[in-house]
């Protein structure tokens, strides 16, 4: 049976190549080798011949930026990078990964094993014309639901407007912030302290790329005041 890289992943690869044209391809990969073929890996073709996983070398692409794009795309299922697993069905929170391959020279993305997830060529948003606006970032940040085993589901907006929240929920909020803004908080202690006190728009903006921080802070301030 012939096989091919899922068109949705081919679209992502093309966007990464266009945005970071000088990147290293050494650790890139998609079709499984002999070791993968002995396992139930997404790097192996499925019954339709589609390979639903891709590895992208870490040298060149900005992982938080790519992860933010992945996080927004409906085909994406999970990411592995630097011994951490991020799964859509668990809210994209960071979890330890204990597999044999630490994925420390590339990041791995698997998409859903459905025809729709494979065949779509919907943009991933890495090219300039597809980059999210400050308003879109705020929409994503405020409306995304995060599961809580003890307190039910909350949106980030619920947390912000509710003031203080339990320390056990901080990890979820930090993960949501990182996913929505496209990069991890650069000052974890300050972000955690801010979450416990009720994050201000300015403190959230500290975790966002500088060229968008003021726009996002202004948008958040206006929305939370409403």
pLDDT tens digit sequence for 67-110: 989 998 999 999 999 999 999 999 999 999 998 889 999 999 99
CA distances from 71 to 18, 46, 87, 170 (A): 20, 23, 9, 19
pLDDT at 187: 47
More reliable by pLDDT, 66 or 150: 66
**In angstroms, what is the C-alpha Rg of the chain?**
18
Both tokens of residue 105? 């020279």
Lowest mean pLDDT among 28-32, 33-37, 204-208: 204-208
Average pLDDT, whole number, for the chain?
Answer: 76
Lowest mean pLDDT among 7-16, 52-61, 75-84, 133-142: 133-142
- Whether residue 18 is predicted with pLDDT greater than 80 in this model: the reply is yes
Residues 107/66, Cβ–Cβ less than 8 Å: yes
Domain ranges of the chain: 4-119, 132-186, 192-225
* Beta strand ranges found along the chain (DSSP E): 4-5, 50-51, 53-57, 76-81, 84-87, 94-96, 106-111, 145-146, 154-155
> Which residues lie across from 54 on neighbouring strands?
109
Distance between CA atoms of residues 139 and 146, nearest Å: 14
Residues 91/176, Cβ–Cβ less than 8 Å: yes
Q: What is the mean pLDDT of residues 7-31?
A: 94
Confidence of residue 190 (pLDDT cuts 50, 70, 90): very low
pLDDT at 142: 65
More reliable by pLDDT, 168 or 111: 111
More reliable by pLDDT, 41 or 213: 41
More reliable by pLDDT, 104 or 181: 104
Q: What is the mean pLDDT of residues 51-63?
A: 95
3-state secondary structure of 208: coil
Residues 73/124, Cβ–Cβ less than 8 Å: yes
Distance between CA atoms of residues 151 and 169, nearest Å: 9
pLDDT at 57: 96
Cβ neighbourhood burial of 38 (10 Å; 0-12, 13-18, 19+)? exposed
Confidence of residue 59 (pLDDT cuts 50, 70, 90): very high
Token pair 């307190």 is found at 151
Q: How many CB atoms lie within 10 A of CB 163?
A: 9
- Whether residue 167 is predicted with pLDDT greater than 80 in this model: the reply is no
* Beta strand ranges found along 16-160 (DSSP E): 50-51, 53-57, 76-81, 84-87, 94-96, 106-111, 145-146, 154-155
More reliable by pLDDT, 201 or 215: 215
- Whether residue 189 is predicted with pLDDT greater than 50 in this model: the reply is no
């Amino acid at each position: 049976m012939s096989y091919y890289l899922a068109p949705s992943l081919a679209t992502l690869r093309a966007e990464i190549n266009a945005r970071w044209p000088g990147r290293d391809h050494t650790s890139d990969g998609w079709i499984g080798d002999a070791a993968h073929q002995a396992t139930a890996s997404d790097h192996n073709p499925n019954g339709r011949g589609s390979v639903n996983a891709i590895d992208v070398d870490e040298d060149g692409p900005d992982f938080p930026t790519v992860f933010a794009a992945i996080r927004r795309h409906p085909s994406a299922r999970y990411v592995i990078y630097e011994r951490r697993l991020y799964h859509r069905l668990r809210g994209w929170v960071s979890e330890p990964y204990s597999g044999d391959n630490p994925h420390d020279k590339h990041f791995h993305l698997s998409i859903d094993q459905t025809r729709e997830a494979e065949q779509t060529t919907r943009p991933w948003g890495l090219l300039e014309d597809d980059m999210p606006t400050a308003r879109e970032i705020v929409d994503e940040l405020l409306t995304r639901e995060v599961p809580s085993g003890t307190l039910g589901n909350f949106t980030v907006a619920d947390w912000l407007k509710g003031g203080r929240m339990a320390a056990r929920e901080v990890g979820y909020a930090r993960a949501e912030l990182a996913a929505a803004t496209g990069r991890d908080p650069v000052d974890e202690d300050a972000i955690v302290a801010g979450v416990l006190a009720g994050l201000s728009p300015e403190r959230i903006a500290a975790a966002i790329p500088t060229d968008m921080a003021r726009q996002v802070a202004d948008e958040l301030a206006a929305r939370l005041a409403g």
